[in-house]
Amino acid sequence: MIVGTAGHIDHGKTALVRALTGIDTDRLKEEKARGITIDLGFAYWPQDNGDVIGFVDVPGHERFVHTMVAGAGGIDLVMLVVAADDAIKPQTREHLAIIDLLGINRGIIVLSKADLADEERRATAADQIRTLLMGTKLANSLILPVSSITGEGMEVLKAYLRGEALVQKKRNTEGLFRFSVDRSFTLTGAGTIVTGTVLSGSVSVGDQTVVSPSGRAARVRSIHAQSRPSVRGAVGQRCALNIVGEGISRDAVTRGDMLLTPELHAPTDRIDVSLRIMASEKKSVGQWYPVRLHHAAVEVGARIVLLDDEPISPGGRAFVQLVLDKPIAVTSQDAFILRDTSAQRTVGGGRFIDLRAPARHRRGCERRAQILALAQEEPVEAMRCLSAVPPHFFDLSAFARDRAMRLEDAESIAEGLGLMRLVAGHARLVLERECWLSFESNLIGDLKKYHAENPDLQGIGFERLRLQSEPRLPVAGFRAALHALIAAGRIKVEGSWIHLPEHEVRLSSDEEHLWQSLQPLLSGEERFRPPRVRDIAGHLGGSEEEIRALCKLLSRLGQLDEIAHDHFFLRSTVAEMVGIIQQLALDVPGEQFTAAQFRDKVLNGRKVAIQILEFFDRHGVTLRRGDLRRINKHRLDLFREARLEDIQGGEASLVGRPDFKSGWGCETVLGGFDSHSLPPSSPSAAKRRA
């Protein structure tokens, strides 16, 4: 059990801890010289049953309240110390407010320096304390007169603390490891030592961790838990960890950092929170109000963004968004404190709700419903509510990470709620089963309608279908949904197109015969410089219009690509050229290449090479700056033949994607890549069958 002291300066907190443990928590020279606590002090009280009660002694001076907040973040029970001869003082009130805002509901009121007050003075102080405690979480706490000098009340206090330690609830160690660093130093022969409180989970010697928000990797070499050597540190314990790793030093790990299980490293600088403003505030809190955010040992500047129209009145509560000056590592449902920028007073406090809060569309009804769902403290209720509000799906892996839960535990809850799960890479999308059935029905209906309106087209592109589907899933989730529907035999993917299994577009016998004659002209050694439509017509002795119409059709079926007007390349050749520019970029300095370098690789003329590169520019495969181009790694699979496993991988064709510079090709085309691929008007089209 961790016990924290709180109270006004010079009310005897440090003396009380020394009387209980025999340890002087004032470790700094300045503290001893001035007789006040400036930084956090720690002491440990071993028990006969092998347990250790830890004490966090926090400073009481108003200038050091931010340090008090750092110490209060991980305590189980608070001793609010009030001097019997001095009674209630300003920091008594502020410390009590902080305790209440942090949700600490176990405590005892120690009426210290009892030897300096008579019975009447003690009774008056006790009455003042009871009045102050009214309406707080410590309202029914025991008030105990104690003297560190005479020993009055010390045995009763010790018995009380031992009893509370015995009934201390066993903390859940199944969560993922989080450790709040409040001190970092170097120990000769050991290296970097960090001290702090384990906020969740556990850590063992040899474990790999991450220092967040910096992201440095660190291995735990040794552990002291509750001031004893140990092979394991668990939630609720004060620990000193000896950590090693590249870049790990005393200066690289500072107060306010978090030591985390690697999968929890996802710092944030924009958080939706529930906020309660102190009743003692003299003015309402308005839009973009500046504050200092305190969470565990971290302190950072922040601005309050109101999610409602009206300012928050003193004593009021509201959902707001905090925009931070820099990212920090926190967990949903953690408590926090807000103080004014001059560090003179506590403004309010509350709990973190959504660590991935949006910068836009943050005030609508749908967003409010999501915040209310995420505000549920219990994960099972939060999941139930979140799946019941628009858009009726969420990323389970992100939900688990932001609550420091194991993914398997979150999946077990989702299964118990009967939620549908879609695996999309590292993401786990979950949605209500009724929502999934509606999504499936709508998607099948969209495909049927599309096939009825376009019987001669092979199917619809990935992105176009995603954008018209309800609910509109993110790209990774939609890809996973398609994978599930393919596995169930409800849809098919061929080339770049998605269609129903029963829908099939075939060439007529005349078109098939012409294609057999045309295909050899576009393949083989001449594949990088195929003939144009007029040259093909001259070679085969056919009509330009007929050949052009066939090439347009094959382009929309994903077998050809129109690089330039009347200049068609096999899709396999285009995919091969993508591989060539990918390798070319790796072979040249700065991964930027010229048209001449590409021309030499495909042994083509400059004009055709430039036309090919401009085609890739339009589709975002290459990005041009002056005479140089570089590849866009996110679009390299655009012209690759789609396979079942690709539905989990790269994105399929994005129909109608405009040229990123000129806007060329911004018109959406039925089934094609760009506005060159217009639907053919051929008499033979009527002879095709679906």
- The number of C-alpha atoms within 13 Å of 193 and in the hemisphere containing its C-beta is 13
Here the tokens at position 451 are 């096939």
Segments of the chain scoring below 50 in pLDDT: 26-39, 60-64, 71, 642-690
- 244, 280: one domain: no
- The answer on 156 and 206 residing in a single domain is no
pLDDT for res 667: 32
Shared domain check, 551 and 535: yes
Contact indicator for 495, 642 with CB cutoff of 8 Å: yes
**What is the total count of domains within the chain?**
4
Q: Which of 309, 339, 363 is the last residue of a domain?
A: 363
Q: Residue 73 belongs to a domain with what CATH number? A: 3.40.50.300
Can you give the pLDDT at residue 114? 92
Domain membership of residue 595 as a residue range? 509-647
Q: How far apart are CA 138 and CA 128, in angstroms?
A: 14
The secondary element (H helix, E strand) that includes residue 630 is strand 628-631
**Residues 160, 189 within the same domain:** no
Sign of the dihedral defined by the CA atoms of residues 440, 442, 445, 449, in that order:
negative
Q: Which amino acid is at 504?
A: E
Residues 9 and 149 in one domain: yes
* Whole-prediction pTM: 0.72
Please report, for the domain that includes residue 290, its CATH number.
2.40.30.10
Give me 678's structure tokens.
Answer: 């217009």
DSSP string, 160-193: HHHHHHHTPPPP---SPPEEEEEEEEEETTTEEE
8 Å CB contact between 301 and 292: yes
Report the C-alpha gap between 453 and 468 in whole angstroms. 16
282-335 per-position pLDDT tens digit:
999 999 999 999 998 899 999 999 999 899 999 999 999 999 999 999 999 999
Under 8 Å between Cβ of 198 and 233: yes
pLDDT at 681: 38
Q: What is the pLDDT of residue 169?
A: 65
Per-residue pLDDT tens digits for 214-238: 999 999 999 998 778 999 998 888 8
pLDDT at 436: 93
In angstroms, the CA 320 to CA 272 distance is: 6
Q: Provide the pLDDT for residue 40.
A: 55
10 and 154 in a single domain? The answer is yes
- pLDDT score recorded for residue 650: 35
In contact, 222 and 190? CB cutoff 8 Å: yes
User: Contact 415/433 with Cβ under 8 angstroms?
Assistant: no
The answer on 97 and 33 residing in a single domain is yes
Q: What does the alpha-carbon distance between residue 597 and residue 610 come to, in Å, rounded to a whole number?
A: 11
